[in-house]
Amino acid sequence: MNELAVIDAQWGAVPQLPDRARTRSGVEFDPRANRWAYRDTTDTVHLDFSRLQATAPFIASAKYALLWYAEQMSPSHLVNMYERLRHFLVAISAGRVGPISEINSTDLINYRATLTGPSKWYLGSLAGLLKKWHSLGYLGVTDDAVSLLKQLRMQGNTKGEAVLTHDPVNGPFTDIELESLQCALNHAYEGGEVDREGYLLAYLFMLLGQRPIQYAALKVRDVSVARAKDGTPVYTLRVPRAKQRDRLSRGEFKDRVLIPQIGELLVQHAEVVQTDFKERLPDPADAPLFPARRRRSKEPEGFEYHTTAQAIVELLPNTLKRLSVKSERTGKPLHITATRFRRTLLTRAAMEGHGELVLAELADHSDTQNIGVYIEARPEIVERIDRAIAMHLAPLAQAFAGVLIRDESEATRAGDASSRICDPRFDPSMKPLANCGKHGFCGFVAPIACYTCAQFEPWLDGPHEAVLEHLIGERDRLAARGDMRIAAINDRTILAVAEVVRQCETQRGQGGENG
C-alpha cells in the first residue's frame, strides 16, 4: 500500500489522488507527484509540494484543492494560488515546532498581522483558495477559519496605483521616454545590434499593448495583408484573446491593424519562419510567429515549437535594456516591462479623448470595470517649456543622438554638398548649420527632425540657439490655441536642440572654438 493509501485509511476525508488529471486545455499530468511540472499552452507550471512545511495529509488535501484550479482555471491562476499558500505556510510556521496539519482562525489572524503595504492583498487572494478547499470537503481548513474569512473585509490587490501616480518605474512611459525608446530601437536595428525578432516584438508591445501570453500564442497564419480600394496594403495581426476564463489561448481572436512600416516587416518575418518550418510541421502556417530557441519535451498539441509567455517576458527587456535609454524624470535607465507598454498605450488613448469602451477594446477586456483608472489618470502635459527648463532636462532626456563637429572638415561626408543642412529661417545667408552622415534618401523634414537623428552632425557655430527659440515660440503659439497635444509634439526635439546648444556652450567654454 503506497503512502497516499495509508493516508486514506487513516484520514477518511482524504481519498487517494488519481494517477492522471487533465487541465482545462487538455494537458495531462500526475497529481500524485511531489512536483507538478508541465507546459499548458504557452505557460509553464511548476509546483513543488516538497517545499510546503506541512503534514502529508495536509499536503494531499492541498493537492486536491489545487487540482480543482488546474482543471477549471488558467495555469497562471493555479500558480498564483500555490504561491499564496506557500507564502502563508512559511509565515505561520516561523517559530513553530513540527509541520502544519491544519489552518485555523488564529493562524489567519497572525498571518494578517504580518502583511504590510504591497502584500496586504495576499490574504484576500488566499481566502478564495481556502474557501474552495473547505467547500470541497477536504481536511486542512477548519470551520472557524472559513467563518473568519467570511467576516473579514479583505483588501484586494491594489489596481491602478502606478497609473494614477504616474510612477516613473512601473507606471506608463512619458511621450519623451517612449519616443526615446523608439528612436534608439530603430537605430540599433539599423546597426544590427538588435535582431528582427526582438525589434518586431518590442514594437508590437508598443503599438498593441497585448499580454506576453498572447504574443507567445501567435502563429504565422495570424499575419495577413490585404488591399484597400486604392491599392494601399493593409497589414493585420490576428491576436488570440487571453485572460478570458472560458476561452483557451487560441479560442477567440481580435484583428489588430498595424502601421505599414511594422506590418511589412512582420509579413517578411512570417514568410521566413514559414520557410524554416516546411520540413518540421505538416502545415508550416501553424509555425509559431516567435519560435522557441530550443524545443522542449511534452509540448501541448497545437503549440509545438512555441515559446512560453515567460520567455517573451524576458526577451523584451533583454532587447531594450541594451539600448540604455534614460528617463528624463529620473536620469536613470528606463525600467522595461511588458506591463508598462500596456499602461502607456491605454494612458495615451485616454489622453486623446477616447472613452472607456474604446479603451476596453484596446485592452481586450470584456468589460470596463478596470478601465476607469486610465480616464482618471490622464496626465497634464507641461503647460510651458522655456529655455531654462529645456536646458535642465536636455542631458537627462538624451534626445540628441548625433555628434557635434567644429565644421564640415570633420563631417562624415565632408565635401559632399548634398550632405549640408541649411534653413533660411535661422540663417538668411544659407550657411549650413550641420551635415548629414546618412548616405541615401531621407524622408524627414530638415533641419527640425534632424536633431533627434543619430546621423546628425551639427556645427559648433551653427544657429542652434535660433532653432531652440523658434521651437519654443511655436510651442507657446500652439498652446495658446488650446491644443496641448499638438503643442507638445516637438517636446523631445526641443530637448535635443537644447542639448546641442548646451554642448556648444561647453566646448566654447573649454576653448573648443579655437581647438
Q: Residue 283's Cα: distance from chain center in Å?
A: 31
Please give the residue that has the higher pLDDT: either 48 or 487: 48
Amino acid identity, position 440: G
Confidence tier at 8 by pLDDT (50, 70, 90): very low
Average pLDDT, the chain: 85
Give the chain's domain count. Answer: 4
**pLDDT value of position 302:** 83
Domain boundary (303, 320, 337) is at: 320
- 137 with 19, same domain: the answer is yes
| Domain that residue 481 falls in | 387-509
**pLDDT value of position 247:** 47
Mean pLDDT in residue range 146-156: 81
The 10 Å Cβ neighbour count of residue 288 is 22
The 10 Å Cβ neighbour count of residue 211 is 24
Buried b (16+ CB within 10 A) or exposed e, 362-390: bbbbeebeebebbbebeeeeeeebeeeeb
CB 129 within 8 Å of CB 84: yes
H-state helical runs in 102-151:
105-114, 122-135, 143-151
Show the 3-state SS of 356-389.
Answer: HHHHHHHHCCCCCCCCHHHHHCCCCCCCCCCHHH
Question: Which grid cell is 427?
Answer: 540663417
Q: How many helices (H) and strands (E) does the chain have?
A: 19, 10
In a domain, 309, yes or no: yes
Mean pLDDT in residue range 391-401: 86
**pLDDT value of position 10:** 44
Question: Which grid cell is 292?
Answer: 522557441
- 22 with 141, same domain: the answer is yes
- 395 with 277, same domain: the answer is no
In a domain, 515, yes or no: no
**pLDDT value of position 402:** 92
Is pLDDT of 370 > 70? no
- 146 with 268, same domain: the answer is no
**Predicted confidence (pLDDT) per residue in 164-206, tens digit:** 667 888 888 988 899 899 989 998 998 899 999 999 999 999 9
**pLDDT value of position 499:** 94
Mean pLDDT in residue range 386-394: 87
- 396 with 426, same domain: the answer is yes
Q: Return the SS3 of 384.
A: coil
- 268 with 305, same domain: the answer is yes
Question: Which grid cell is 415?
Answer: 565635401
In a domain, 179, yes or no: no
Is pLDDT of 356 > 80? no
- 316 with 368, same domain: the answer is no
**pLDDT value of position 39:** 85
**Predicted confidence (pLDDT) per residue in 420-462, tens digit:** 999 999 988 888 999 998 876 676 677 998 999 888 999 999 9
- 263 with 201, same domain: the answer is yes
CA distance 119 to 235: 43
CA distance 251 to 247: 6
In a domain, 180, yes or no: no
Is pLDDT of 375 > 90? no
Length of the chain: 515
* Strands (E) located in 144-227: 223-227
Q: HSE (CB half, 13 Å, CA atoms) of 168?
A: 11
**pLDDT value of position 6:** 41
Domain boundary (277, 299, 320) is at: 320
Look up the CATH number of the domain holding residue 274.
Answer: 1.10.443.10
- 145 with 8, same domain: the answer is yes
Domain boundary (275, 303, 320) is at: 320
- 304 with 331, same domain: the answer is no
Q: CA-CA distances (angstroms) from residue 491 to 11, 14, 172, 451?
A: 70, 66, 17, 12
Q: Which residues contact 12 (CB under 8 A, 6 or more apart)?
A: none
DSSP designation for 283: S
In a domain, 349, yes or no: yes
Question: Which grid cell is 179?
Answer: 519616443
Question: Which grid cell is 334?
Answer: 528606463
In a domain, 282, yes or no: yes
Confidence tier at 157 by pLDDT (50, 70, 90): low
**Overall pTM surpassing 0.85 (yes/no):** no
In a domain, 116, yes or no: yes
CB 379 within 8 Å of CB 166: yes
Confidence tier at 4 by pLDDT (50, 70, 90): very low
Confidence tier at 156 by pLDDT (50, 70, 90): low
- 435 with 471, same domain: the answer is yes
Please give the residue that has the higher pLDDT: either 267 or 310: 267
- 483 with 468, same domain: the answer is yes
DSSP designation for 461: T
